[in-house]
Structure 1
């Protein structure tokens, strides 16, 4: 007998194997018991026939409850009707720990109940599938940057100043001064790009926004590349290549998980660079034509982004936003200083912005002017100003929100399922 994982079961057709896991579910048909077994790598059905194992073993298994931890022994048999293509003909089951009545039954539970039991809800096939897709997206992102000459740089989580103003920052005491939980690693990546050329950070970020929408989390993960000597156009090309690569890898590695999620794979198969583009000016016209009460200079809300995305079957770049509604560090258009060389990438199917990016201001005097216009404390940004003093170059970057990307690729209704333990406006437990 060989010990294996359910994910590797195809390698052992006809062999006797040992699997260490948990009993996800069980049903009985007289003299046959059907055990749904999970081990973290997958799910498989185990079939136990009373006449083949004897009454003692059969009755012992009858007493095993849902989510009890077990070690099973059996022969791998091909079964085309099974999701994995195989099932186990069980010979014995060893009980490791007998679980009491499991709180999450097969009946429908409310969202609040499931979120209170998130530590257990994670075990369900749907949540396992989502976490696997998330894992592939993370690995694909790292692969993409590794293949394209980027260096991973870890940005600090505690910062002395804000990236985009202090209105939605978590403030904390840092000995005898104030500090903030990071809302972005971007400014630090600009410094790192001046040292290493092409860099990225990947870590948790925090926004103290009192928002309850299906797209918002209080704590979320961002992937933020920054590139020296890269201007606006090349920045967009990197973004569409990056997103295309991620989707390609998910389709390659997670088809079974997407099937569990009932995801329409054909919509993902269409996600290949290049992506369409629409200027902010034209987006405003489009929204007005659709009956939206919006004027030039207004920022887009979620309904606006959805309307824009409906005109395209791929992610779409909205470019050249008004300078007044974007961050202080974004470079103005040389011929139209009222707009910036920035773009948001809007996912299709109503999932909203998944990337925000721009070319950054490289000119010292202009940066100083912007800092003053935004009423930011110059002394707190002196290190950032130094980047324009000592060898300034054109540079660009962007940030991809991991959870929104997971929600889009998985086809989920809410971002709360995209992260193991979501932090929401009224939820800090578990």
Structure 2
């Protein structure tokens, strides 16, 4: 079995990466929520119970669940790169040199590898180090700011920093500084973990770019069709870059179609998978708020070509027609979030009513709180497995956001 094999959104889920939320969530305060991209503070004990419940659902349905923090620790040990991994984290956390850098390095290297990895995710508070007042030179301007290294409370949304495509993945340049360190963990896993040692996978795009893309915008619609959202967190230039890479390596990637879908650039609709997900061969959830009054949305379909760009681009506003043509289906069932109701749809989209995780064709995991959307999915013949969601949903991501598939069966 290859390290990565994902050629659809709906093939039976066999292996997946998650991160159980930890103390990084408890390091949120009202004063720094906006900086760390949160709108609320989850209650950690309940959030962990909810995450454990999601993991049990995945395991009971045949998926092997791997934890990103454990994979990272194992990769560090296998590569003997504890100091180098820490140094890179310090640099990207704004502590590249000086007395604080030295104190942080001494402190964090004194921890065992598992604890060091956890601590880099949790963040390091200023009161944890004994640094002389004369030496306090921090990358943070506010002397009252509590952290030398910021926590990474969004780490439990493992889909965004990296995303599998075929027998490869993108290791993403995240848009906001608050999340940019996250993709370093999977980068380390792919380079040093024994499970990836064969090198039988491609890195379609690494994190060393100035343009940005995030995994929540990357949807694998079939073994040759990829949809990517042009969103608040993924730019058009990055999408073209991924398309060209896939097309050039088409013998390995199999992909010959990339559909770019323009969604509103706002906090409520941060990624494509918060407004559109695939639940069956010919069925999708869709938040009606992404369509204009005439039901239209801007799309650009790219194919490989022997020209200066390396691709052709065609424009359309008819999403349904574009998806039908790309997937080769005669009919398509677009199931509206919140039944399309003026109040229910935006409310349930806010708590990720559209962010479904398919575990086999026609069977999805969703948050229980989005009961109107769930009932409509069931009415359309979809089996819905509900998972509890009072606290996890405060982070603004659903079951798809919290899972990064490595292996799915072909369909």
Rg larger in structure: 1
State the structure with bigger RCO (CA 8 A, min sep 6), 1 or 2.
Answer: 2
Q: Name whichever structure is richer in strand by fraction.
A: 1
